[in-house]
């Protein structure tokens, strides 16, 4: 990978930022079930960490894609998964379509403040009755003059309780299936919008996840991002970037977990010797390191293809499914090799296992990735 001095320097910056500004707060955030995203994102924005690849016109940094890879990897090393997920939503899940297809007015109004960290945003696609099957969503946005009237609900939405606006996928016509959907910017202060419930979760406990309800929510028709009716296609492209972010972060998480486990096994004595004297443990960890390194370099290949402007749908699906499965394996083995203390809430392994279990579900489940691949590769009838 053509990493330059600037990339290495940026990695050092992010790493020290995570250690000094994020990790000390994770326990508190986990206990509260909330992170002060406006504060954290504003601080990060001042350092240029939000919207790295976006146009400087809107507060982006005009950086190359490798900086995003580094940011994700380093946030993957944080003491909890929630912050990396929230950041991913802000910079790589809720905003890519707005940046690429949004009108000037929408970008000035919603993208620029998000990149300054003044506004927090969410991506609202999943519904109570439609997750993997995005084409089954039912939330509607009906035209009324130059306004849209939105009705429906969205489920499992990250950053929901603090979001100032959401990128909502809704039906704007009756065509059905993949057709007739649009991506719409919906401000959270619009009358009729409500976070009806804060959801309690297995992991990612510092991240606020909500069930959203839209009852006759009125927004200007001009809040449609890009071409009306093109929402499904635009969202599928947005998912690709989301999956890449997730896979990049997984490498940082896995490397950190293996490092910490190695450190523990060097100290913990059983049968008169540090545990790491056991060849079984050495080889099991080495086996995992093999997989992590393969994912890392697969990610770099993905990043290169993306930088060349190629369609990375297939790359992203492969990286994401591998990341989900590998994180589950790494989390499980690291906990296992810690023994009893690994099962204790005070040890990082417990949270690591819970948080990272999400990877095989969020952003499209492993099975959805297989569906994408089966189609792409023709294992499909």
Partner 1 sequence: MRIAVCVKQIPDPAAPYELDPETHFVVRPEDQVLDDTDRYGVEVALQLAEAAGDDASVTLVSMSPSGSLQGIRQALAMGADKAVIVDDASLRGADALTTSRVIAAAIGREGYDVVVAGTESTDGYTGVVPQQIAEVLGAPSLTFARKVEAVDGKIRIERQTQAGYDVVEAAPPVLLTVTSGAVEPRYPTFKGIMQAKQKPIDTLTCTDLGVTADNQQVITSVDPVPARQAGEIVEDEGEGHLRIVAMLEEAKVI
Ligand X SMILES: Cc1cc2nc3c(=O)[nH]c(=O)nc-3n(C[C@H](O)[C@H](O)[C@H](O)COP(=O)(O)OP(=O)(O)OC[C@H]3O[C@@H](n4cnc5c(N)ncnc54)[C@H](O)[C@@H]3O)c2cc1C
Interacting span for ligand X (CB under 6 A) from 97-105, 142-150, 264-272, 366-374: 366-374
Nearest CA among 279, 275, 248, 272 for reference residue 264? 275
Which one from 242, 267, 287, 304 is the annotated catalytic residue? 242
Q: Which does residue 49 bind out of ligand X, partner 1, none, counting CB within 5 to 8 angstroms by kind?
A: partner 1
Nearer to partner 1, 27 or 64 (CB): 64
* Residues near partner 1 (CB under 8 A): 5-6, 8-10, 12-13, 16-17, 46-49, 52, 61, 63, 67
242 classed as catalytic:
yes
Q: Which does residue 368 bind out of ligand X, partner 1, none, counting CB within 5 to 8 angstroms by kind?
A: ligand X
Interacting span for ligand X (CB under 6 A) from 23-31, 128-136, 261-269, 347-355: 128-136
Taking CB under 6 A as the criterion, the residue among 58, 67, 75, 156 binding ligand X is: 156
Residue 123 binding ligand X, by CB under 6 A: yes
Q: Which does residue 132 bind out of partner 1, ligand X, none, counting CB within 5 to 8 angstroms by kind?
A: ligand X
Taking CB under 6 A as the criterion, the residue among 201, 260, 328, 354 binding ligand X is: 201
Q: Which does residue 126 bind out of ligand X, partner 1, none, counting CB within 5 to 8 angstroms by kind?
A: ligand X
Q: x/- string (CB under 6 A) for ligand X, residues 70-89?
A: -------------------x
* Integer CA distances (angstroms), 20 to 30, 83, 87, 327, 353, in order: 17, 14, 17, 25, 23
Nearer to partner 1, 6 or 133 (CB): 6
CB of 184 to partner 1, least distance (A): 31
CB of 321 to partner 1, least distance (A): 31
Residue 157 binding ligand X, by CB under 6 A: yes
Which residues are registered as beta bridge partners of 367? none
Nearest CA among 354, 96, 364, 356 for reference residue 251? 356
114: Cα separation from own chain's centroid: 16
Residue 368 binding ligand X, by CB under 6 A: yes
For β-strands 121-124 and 165-171, DSSP reports them as parallel
Nearer to ligand X, 208 or 265 (CB): 208
> Whose structure tokens read 């099962």?
343
292, 320 contact by CB (below 8 A): no
**Would you put residue 180 in left (φ > 0), alpha (ψ -120 to 50) or beta?**
left
CB of 376 to partner 1, least distance (A): 35
Interacting span for ligand X (CB under 6 A) from 25-33, 36-44, 124-132, 310-318: 124-132
CB of 235 to ligand X, least distance (A): 9
Nearest CA among 292, 298, 313, 317 for reference residue 367? 317
Residues 306, 60: Cα–Cα separation, whole Å: 18
Query: 3-state DSSP helix/strand/coil percent for the chain, to nearest 5?
Result: 55, 15, 30
How many CB atoms within 10 Å of residue 181?
29
Measured on CA atoms in the order 140, 179, 321, 300, is the torsion positive or negative? negative
Taking CB under 6 A as the criterion, the residue among 13, 173, 365, 373 binding ligand X is: 365
Residue 171 phi, psi (nearest 5):
-80, 125
Residue 79 phi, psi (nearest 5):
-70, -10
Interacting span for ligand X (CB under 6 A) from 48-56, 188-196, 255-263, 361-369: 361-369
CB of 67 to partner 1, least distance (A): 7
Q: Which residue in the shown chain puts its C-beta closest to ligand X?
A: 131
Over the range 86-117, which residues count as b (16 or more CB within 10 Å of their CB) and which as e? bbbbbbbbbbbbbbebbeeebbebbbbbbbbb
Tokens describing residue 336: 């296992």
Taking CB under 6 A as the criterion, the residue among 158, 253, 347, 349 binding ligand X is: 158
Which residues are annotated as catalytic?
242
For ligand X, the binding residues (CB under 6 A) are 89, 122-126, 131-133, 156-158, 201, 204, 209, 358, 361-365, 367-368, 371
């Amino acid at each position: 990978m053509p990493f330059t001095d600037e990339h290495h320097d940026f990695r050092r910056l992010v790493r020290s930022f995570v250690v000094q500004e994020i990790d000390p707060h994770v326990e508190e955030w986990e206990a509260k079930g909330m992170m002060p995203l406006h504060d954290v994102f504003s601080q990060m924005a001042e350092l240029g960490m939000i919207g790295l690849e976006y146009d400087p016109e809107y507060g982006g940094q005009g950086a190359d894609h490798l900086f995003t890879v580094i940011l994700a990897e380093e946030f993957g090393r944080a003491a909890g998964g929630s912050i990396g997920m929230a950041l991913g939503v802000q910079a790589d899940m809720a905003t890519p379509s707005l940046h690429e297809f949004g009108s000037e007015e929408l970008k000035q109004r919603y993208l620029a403040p998000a990149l300054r960290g003044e506004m927090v945003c969410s991506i609202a696609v999943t519904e109570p009755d439609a997750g993997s099957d995005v084409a089954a969503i039912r939330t509607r946005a009906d035209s009324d003059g130059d306004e849209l009237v939105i009705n429906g609900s969205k489920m499992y939405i990250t950053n929901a309780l603090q979001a100032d606006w959401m990128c909502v996928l809704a039906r704007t016509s009756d065509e059905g299936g993949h057709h007739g959907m649009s991506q719409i910017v919906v401000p959270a202060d619009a009358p009729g919008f409500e976070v009806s419930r804060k959801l309690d979760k297995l992991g990612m406990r510092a991240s606020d996840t909500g069930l959203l309800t839209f009852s006759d929510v009125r927004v200007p028709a001009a809040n449609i991002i890009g071409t009306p009716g093109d929402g499904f296609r635009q969202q599928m492209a947005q998912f690709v970037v989301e999956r890449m972010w997730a896979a990049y972060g997984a490498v940082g998480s896995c490397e950190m977990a293996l490092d910490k486990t190695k450190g523990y096994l060097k100290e913990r004595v059983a049968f008169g010797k540090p545990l790491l004297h056991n060849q079984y443990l050495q080889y099991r960890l080495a086996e995992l390191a093999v997989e992590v390194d393969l994912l890392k370099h697969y990610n770099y290949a993905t990043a290169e293809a993306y930088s060349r402007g190629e369609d990375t749908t297939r790359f992203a699906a492969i990286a994401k499914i591998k990341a989900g499965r590998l994180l589950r394996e790494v989390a499980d083995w690291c906990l296992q090799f810690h023994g009893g203390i690994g099962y204790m809430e005070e040890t990082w392994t417990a949270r690591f296992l819970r948080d990272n279990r999400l990877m095989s579900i969020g952003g499209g489940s492993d099975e959805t990735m297989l569906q994408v691949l089966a189609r792409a590769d023709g294992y499909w009838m």
